[in-house]
C-alpha cells in the first residue's frame, strides 16, 4: 500500500491560506515558523509513508490476537513501528513543553495526525487515544497526577485509553453502572465491565493508563453521579516505574468490520485500583475534554481515509486500460485508454478531491481556532476561538465522516471488481472508515449536539459571529471578478444556512422533534457552507499566485477543483434545506410497531 503524503497541500493551507506566520508572536507559533513547519511536514511524510503505510494491510489481515492469559498481541511490525514513533518524538509534537512535549500548535500537529491516519488508521489510534488521556489529566488532574503521568503519556512511553461504554450504555452514559468504592486512603476499587475499548490491551508500551468513568458508591443516578478515575495497568512505584499489576483485564476482543489492527477490548475491572481525577461526580465534564478532542480527531480520520482511498483510486484509474474515451482514443498505441478518460470516473475522483481538500481546510481552520482560543492575548479572539471550536466540532466530526465514507466508497467503485477483492486496498479503506461515522458519538448525536446545544449557546453568539465573518469576507472582495462565482456560491449557501437556522429557532422550540428531524440535514448544510467558505479562500490564495505569474500546476488544479466544488458538490445544499423545512411530521407519523 503506497501512500504519498500531501505535503504540498498542507504547506499551502498553513502557509498561504491560514498564514500561520502572522501568529509568530504567540506561544507555540513562535517555535513553528513556516520553514520549520515545512521540515516537520517532510519528515512526517517520510515517517508515515515509510514506516506506517507498509503495515496497514498487514494490520487488516492479521488483526490483533487475544490469549487466555488476557494478553493481546498486535500485528507483525506494529511494536517496532510504535517504538520508532516514540523515538522520533512524534507523540510529543503537540504536548506542552512543561511535561516534555514540543509545544507546537495543534494545527501543526494535525498535519502529522492526518498523515499518520491515512497511512495506518488502526495503528494511529493507539497514540491518538493516548493524547486524549494526556489531555484529560492535563485539564483535570492534580499536580501529582500530572507529574507522574503526563511525561510518560506525552512521550508515548505509556499509552492511554478511554473507558466509557458498557454493554447497556453507549450514547446514554447516565445508565452507567461501573462502581467505585472509596478505600479511605484516597484510592478507589473499581468494578464493572467496559466494552469497545480501543487499545484497551496490547503489547506496544510498558504501561496502559485507563481513564475510567464509574459511579462512586452512593452517588446520584444519571449523569450527575459519574466520576473519572485513572486506572493504570501497572501501578507506578515510588520512582514512577510500572510496578504491581492492577486487576484490570482484557476479557476478549471484538470481531469488527474494519480497523482490525486496533485492539477493541472488553475490559473487566475486578476491584481495580483507581485514583479520582478532579472532583467527585464531575467526571463527565472532564471526559468531554477528551471527547471533544477525539471528535476533531475522528473528523480528521474521515478526511485521512478519504485521502488515502482517493490516492489508490487515482493511481488505479491512470493504470487500468479499459475502453476508449468518448471523444476519441487518448492512448492510441495501447489496447485501450486508461479509465481516467471517462467523465464518470473523473466525477468520482473530482468529488473526492473537492471533499478531501475542502475538508482538510475546514479541519485546519477549526484547529487554528482552538490554538487561538488558548494562545491569543486578545480576549475577543480567545472567545471567538472557543465559540468556533464548540460550534464546529460536531460539523467536523459528522459531516466530514459522512462525506469521507462516501469518498472511500467511490474510490472502491473506481476500482470496479478489483475494489471488492481484498488484493486491492479499497475495501479496507471503506471498512476502516465506516467506524468514523459511529464512534465518539454517532453522527446523529453530533447533529443533535449541533442543533440542540451548540447553536443556542450564548444566545446563538457563535453562529451569528460565523455569519458576520462570511458577510464581511464577501463584502471586502466585492469587486473581485475572478472570485465572483465563489463569492456568489458562498453567499447563497450562507443564506440557505441562515434560513435553516431561523427555521430551527422558530420550529425547534415549538416542537423539539422538528429540531431532531432537521438535525442531520442542517449539519450537512452547515458543512457545505463551511466548505464553500474554505474553497473560496483557497481559490483566492491560488488565484493570487497565478496572477503573480506562478506556473506551479498545483495552483491551477486548486482553482479547477474549486470550480468543481461549486458546480457539482455545493448544489446539495438546497436539497438539505428543502428537506429539513418539511419538519418532523412525516418522520414521526408511523407508530413504532409499524416498523
Residues identified as active-site: 440
**Nearest Cα to Cα of residue 150 among 192, 112, 190, 98:** 98
Report the residue from 124, 135, 409, 507 that binds its own copies according to the rule CB under 8 A.
Answer: 409
- Minimum CB separation from its own copies for residue 594, in Å? 5
The one among 377, 479, 481, 586 contacting its own copies by CB under 8 A: 586
Distance separating alpha carbons of residues 194 and 268, to the nearest angstrom: 6
- Report the SS3 class of residue 189: strand
Q: How far is the CB of 308 from its own copies (least distance, A)?
A: 14
299 part of the interface to its own copies, by CB under 8 A = no
State the Cα–Cα distance between residues 594 and 514, nearest whole angstrom: 21
Residue 489: which region, alpha, beta or left (left: phi > 0; alpha: psi -120 to 50)? alpha
| Residue 72 CB, nearest approach to its own copies (Å) | 17
Specify the stretch interacting with its own copies by CB under 8 A; choose among 47-55, 248-256, 271-279, 365-373.
248-256
How far is it, in rounded angstroms, from Cα 321 to Cα 331? 9
Q: Which of 234, 288, 420, 473 binds its own copies (CB under 8 A)?
A: 420
- Please state the closest distance from residue 152 (CB atom) to its own copies, in A: 29
Contact positions with its own copies (CB under 8 A) in 84-103:
none
The span from the CA of 59 to the CA of 77, in Å, is 9
The vertex-396 CA angle with 167 and 255, nearest 5°, equals 30
Among 212, 412, 455, 462, binds its own copies (CB under 8 A): 412
Beta carbon nearer to its own copies, 176 or 530: 176
CA distances from 257 to 72, 254, 471, 505 (A): 19, 10, 44, 39
Backbone φ and ψ of 155, nearest 5°: -80, -20
Size of the site for its own copies (CB under 8 A): 94
Nearest Cα neighbor of 431 from 261, 295, 311 is: 261
- Site residues (CB under 8 A) for its own copies, limited to 153-192: 165, 168-172, 175
Query: Closest approach of Cβ 410 to its own copies, in Å?
Result: 10
For its own copies, the closer CB: 296 or 345: 345
Interface of this chain with its own copies, residues 566 to 585, rule: CB under 8 A: 567-568, 571-572, 574-575, 578-579, 582, 584
Out of 71, 322, 488, 506, point to the residue binding its own copies (CB under 8 A): 322
Q: How far is the CB of 315 from its own copies (least distance, A)?
A: 8
Residues numbered 331-360 forming contacts with its own copies, rule: CB under 8 A: 335-336, 338, 340-350
Residue from 427, 507, 537, 543 that binds its own copies (CB under 8 A)?
A: 427
Binding mask 543-562 for its own copies (x = CB under 8 A): ----------x---x--xx-
Choosing from 156, 225, 419, 425, the residue that interacts with its own copies (CB under 8 A) is 419
**Separation of alpha carbons 296 and 440, rounded Å:** 10
Comparing CB distances to its own copies, the nearer of 168 and 245 is 168
594 touching its own copies, by CB under 8 A: yes
Cβ atoms of 138 and 209 within 8 Å: the answer is: no
Q: At what angle do helices 78-87 and 121-140 cross, to 10 degrees?
A: 50
Cβ atoms of 266 and 250 closer than 8 Å: yes
CA-closest candidate to residue 498, choices 526, 518, 474: 526
Q: Is 587 in the site for its own copies (CB under 8 A)?
A: yes
Which residue has cell 507506578?
Answer: 236
User: Which of these ranges, 39-47, 68-76, 316-324, 463-471, lies near its own copies under the rule CB under 8 A?
Assistant: 316-324
- C-alpha to C-alpha distances, 504 to 349, 352, 443, 587, nearest whole angstrom: 35, 31, 19, 16
Within 252-291, the residues that bind its own copies by CB under 8 A are 254-258
Torsion of CA 266, 272, 273, 279, to 10 degrees: 60
Spatial distance between the Cα atoms of 113 and 256, rounded to a whole number of angstroms: 23
- CB closer to its own copies, 50 vs 344: 344
Among 153, 284, 400, 517, binds its own copies (CB under 8 A): 517
Least Cβ distance, residue 507 to its own copies (angstroms): 12
Q: How far apart are CA 393 and CA 369, in angstroms?
A: 11
In whole angstroms, the minimum distance from the beta carbon of 420 to its own copies comes to 5
In whole angstroms, the minimum distance from the beta carbon of 493 to its own copies comes to: 13
Could you tell me which stretch among 119-127, 223-231, 428-436, 476-484 binds its own copies (CB under 8 A)? 428-436
Rounded to whole angstroms, how far apart are CA atoms 87 and 158? Answer: 13
Nearest residue (CB) to its own copies, 236 versus 512: 512
Residues 135-154 touching its own copies, rule: CB under 8 A, are none
Burial (CB < 10 A; 0-12, 13-18, 19+), residue 86, is middle
Minimum Å distance from CB 257 to its own copies?
4
**Binding residues for its own copies restricted to 451-490, rule: CB under 8 A:** 452
Candidates 26, 86, 438, 544; binder of its own copies (CB under 8 A) is: 438
- CA-based nearest residue to 205, from 316, 74, 100, 94: 74
**Residue 326 binding its own copies, by CB under 8 A:** yes
Task: Return the residue of 184, 186, 332, 417 that touches its own copies, per CB under 8 A.
Answer: 417
Tell the residue number behind the cell numbers 445508565, with chain if given: 175
Amino acid at each position: 500500500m503506497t501512500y504519498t503524503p500531501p505535503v504540498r497541500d498542507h504547506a499551502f493551507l498553513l502557509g498561504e491560506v491560514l498564514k500561520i506566520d502572522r501568529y509568530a508572536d504567540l506561544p507555540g507559533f513562535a517555535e513553528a515558523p513556516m520553514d520549520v513547519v515545512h521540515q516537520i511536514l517532510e519528515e512526517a511524510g517520510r515517517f508515515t509513508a515509510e514506516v506506517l503505510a507498509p503495515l496497514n494491510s498487514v494490520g487488516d489481515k492479521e488483526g490483533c490476537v487475544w490469549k487466555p492469559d488476557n494478553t493481546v498481541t498486535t500485528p507483525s511490525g506494529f511494536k517496532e513501528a510504535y517504538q520508532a514513533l516514540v523515538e522520533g518524538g512524534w507523540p510529543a509534537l503537540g504536548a506542552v513543553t512543561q511535561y516534555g512535549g514540543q509545544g507546537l500548535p495543534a494545527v501543526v500537529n494535525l498535519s502529522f495526525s492526518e498523515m499518520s491516519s491515512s497511512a495506518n488508521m488502526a495503528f494511529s489510534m493507539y497514540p491518538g487515544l493516548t493524547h486524549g488521556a494526556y489531555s484529560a489529566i492535563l485539564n483535570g488532574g492534580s499536580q501529582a497526577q500530572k507529574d507522574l503521568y503526563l511525561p510518560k503519556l506525552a512521550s508515548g512511553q505509556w499509552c492511554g485509553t478511554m473507558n466509557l461504554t458498557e454493554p447497556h450504555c453507549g450514547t446514554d452514559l447516565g445508565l452507567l453502572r461501573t462502581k467505585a468504592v472509596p478505600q479511605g486512603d484516597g484510592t478507589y476499587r473499581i468494578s464493572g465491565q467496559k466494552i469497545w475499548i480501543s487499545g484497551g490491551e496490547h503489547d506496544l508500551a510498558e504501561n496502559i493508563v485507563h481513564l475510567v468513568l464509574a459511579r462512586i458508591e452512593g452517588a446520584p443516578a444519571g449523569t450527575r453521579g459519574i466520576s473519572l478515575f485513572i486506572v493504570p495497568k501497572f501501578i507506578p512505584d515510588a520512582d514512577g516505574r510500572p510496578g504491581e499489576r492492577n486487576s484490570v483485564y482484557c476479557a476478549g476482543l471484538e470481531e469488527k468490520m474494519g480497523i482490525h489492527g486496533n485492539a477493541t477490548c472488553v475490559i473487566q475491572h475486578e476491584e481495580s485500583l483507581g485514583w479520582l481525577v478532579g472532583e467527585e461526580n464531575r467526571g463527565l465534564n472532564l471526559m468531554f475534554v477528551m471527547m471533544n478532542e477525539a471528535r476533531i480527531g475522528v473528523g480528521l480520520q474521515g478526511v485521512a481515509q478519504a485521502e488515502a482511498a482517493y490516492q489508490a483510486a487515482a493511481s488505479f484509474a491512470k493504470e487500468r486500460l479499459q475502453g476508449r474515451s468518448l471523444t476519441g482514443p487518448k492512448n492510441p498505441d495501447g489496447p485501450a485508454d486508461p479509465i481516467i478518460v471517462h467523465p464518470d470516473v473523473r466525477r468520482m475522483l473530482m468529488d473526492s478531491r473537492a471533499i478531501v481538500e475542502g475538508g482538510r481546510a475546514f479541519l485546519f481552520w477549526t484547529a487554528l481556532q482552538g490554538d487561538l482560543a488558548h494562545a491569543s492575548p486578545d480576549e475577543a479572539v480567545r472567545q471567538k476561538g472557543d465559540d468556533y471550536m464548540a460550534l464546529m466540532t460536531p460539523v467536523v466530526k459528522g459531516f466530514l465522516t459522512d462525506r469521507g465514507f462516501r469518498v472511500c466508497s467511490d474510490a472502491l467503485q473506481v476500482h470496479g471488481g478489483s475494489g471488492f477483492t481484498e488484493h486491492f486496498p479499497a475495501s479496507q479503506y471503506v471498512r476502516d472508515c465506516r467506524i468514523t461515522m459511529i464512534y465518539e458519538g454517532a453522527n446523529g448525536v453530533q447533529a443533535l449536539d449541533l442543533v440542540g446545544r451548540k447553536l443556542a449557546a450564548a444566545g446563538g453568539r457563535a453562529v451569528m459571529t460565523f455569519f458576520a465573518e462570511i458577510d464581511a469576507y464577501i463584502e471586502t472582495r466585492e469587486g473581485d471578478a475572478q472570485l465572483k462565482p465563489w463569492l456568489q456560491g458562498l453567499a447563497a449557501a450562507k443564506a440557505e444556512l441562515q434560513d435553516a437556522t431561523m427555521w430551527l429557532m422558530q420550529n425547534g422550540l415549538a416542537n423539539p422533534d422538528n429540531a431532531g428531524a432537521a438535525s442531520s440535514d442542517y449539519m450537512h448544510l452547515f458543512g457545505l457552507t463551511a466548505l464553500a467558505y474554505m474553497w473560496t479562500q483557497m481559490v483566492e490564495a491560488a488565484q493570487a499566485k497565478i496572477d503573480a505569474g506562478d506556473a506551479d500546476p498545483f495552483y491551477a488544479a486548486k482553482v479547477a477543483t474549486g470550480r468543481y466544488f461549486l458546480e457539482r458538490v455545493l448544489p446539495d445544499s438546497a436539497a438539505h434545506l428543502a428537506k429539513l423545512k418539511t419538519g418532523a411530521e412525516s418522520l414521526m407519523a408511523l407508530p413504532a410497531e409499524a416498523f
